[in-house]
Structure 1
Amino acid sequence: MAHVHVILNQKGGVGKSTLAVNLAAVTADVLGGPLGGGDEQPPVVAVSIDPQGSAVWWSERVGDGLPFDFVQAHDDLAGLAALSRIPSAQHVFVDTPGWLDLAEGEGADPLGKGAAADALRAVLSNATDVIVPIEPEPLGFQPTQRTVEKVVKPRGLPFRVVINNWDPRDGKADLEQTRAFVEGQGWPLARTVVRHYKLHTRASADGLVVTQYGANKVALQAREDFFRLALEVGLAAIPKPARRKKTSRTTKKKAAV
Structure 2
Amino acid sequence: MAIHVLLNQKGGVGKSTLSVNLAAVTADVLNRGDDPNASSPVLALSVDPQGSAVWWASRMNDLPFHIAQAHDDLDNLAKIKDLPGIQHVYVDTPGWIDLDGDSRGGDPLGRGPAADVLRTVLDMADQVIVPIEPEPLSFDPTARTIGKVVQPRGLRYIVVINNWDPRDGTFDLNQTREFVKANGWPLANTVIRHYKLHVRASAEGQVVTEYPANRVALQAREDFYKFALELNVGGTR
- TM bucket (normalised to shorter chain) is over 0.9
1:30 aligns with 2:49: no
Secondary structure (helix, strand or coil) at the match of 2:181 reads helix
Deviation at 1:113, TM superposition (A): 0.7
* 1:219 equivalent in structure 2: 217
Q: What one-letter code is carried by the residue in structure 1 that aligns with 2:138?
A: G
Secondary structure (helix, strand or coil) at the match of 1:62 reads coil
* 2:71 equivalent in structure 1: 74
TM-score, normalised by the number of residues in structure 2: 0.96
TM-score, normalised by the number of residues in structure 1: 0.89
Which of the numbers 138, 141, 160 marks the counterpart of 2:139? 141
Q: For residues 92 and 178 of structure 2, what CA distance do their matches in structure 1 show? A: 27
Q: For residues 164 and 224 of structure 1, what CA distance do their matches in structure 2 show? A: 14
Render the CA deviation track for 1:30-60: whole Å, top value 9, x for unaligned: 1012x89587531000000000111111000
Deviation at 1:110, TM superposition (A): 0.4
Secondary structure (helix, strand or coil) at the match of 2:59 reads helix
The number of aligned residues is 236
Q: What one-letter code is carried by the residue in structure 1 that aligns with 2:43?
A: V
Which of the numbers 53, 69, 84 marks the counterpart of 1:87? 84
Which of the numbers 97, 100, 109 marks the counterpart of 1:100? 97
* 1:41 equivalent in structure 2: 39
- For the 8 Å contact 1:4–1:83, the answer to whether it is kept is no
Q: For residues 34 and 108 of structure 2, what CA distance do their matches in structure 1 show? A: 43
Q: What one-letter code is carried by the residue in structure 2 that aligns with 1:191?
A: N
Secondary structure (helix, strand or coil) at the match of 2:71 reads coil
Render the CA deviation track for 1:113-135: whole Å, top value 9, x for unaligned: 11111110110011000000000
Identical aligned residues as a percent: 64
| Structure 1 runs (4+) greater than 4 angstroms displaced | 35-40
List runs of 5+ in structure 1 lacking aligned partners. Answer: 240-257
* 1:173 equivalent in structure 2: 171
* 1:13 equivalent in structure 2: 12
Q: 35-44 vs 202-211, which deviates more? A: 35-44
* 1:199 equivalent in structure 2: 197
Secondary structure (helix, strand or coil) at the match of 2:190 reads coil
* 2:150 equivalent in structure 1: 152
Q: For residues 124 and 57 of structure 1, what CA distance do their matches in structure 2 show? A: 23
Q: What one-letter code is carried by the residue in structure 1 that aligns with 2:10?
A: K
List runs of 5+ in structure 2 lacking aligned partners. Answer: none
Render the CA deviation track for 1:88-122: whole Å, top value 9, x for unaligned: 10000000000001122264200001111111011
Q: For residues 38 and 61 of structure 1, what CA distance do their matches in structure 2 show? A: 20
**Rg larger for:** 1
Deviation at 1:78, TM superposition (A): 1.4
- With over 3 angstroms needed to count, the CA separation of the structure-2 counterparts of 1:79 and 1:36, relative to structure 1, is farther
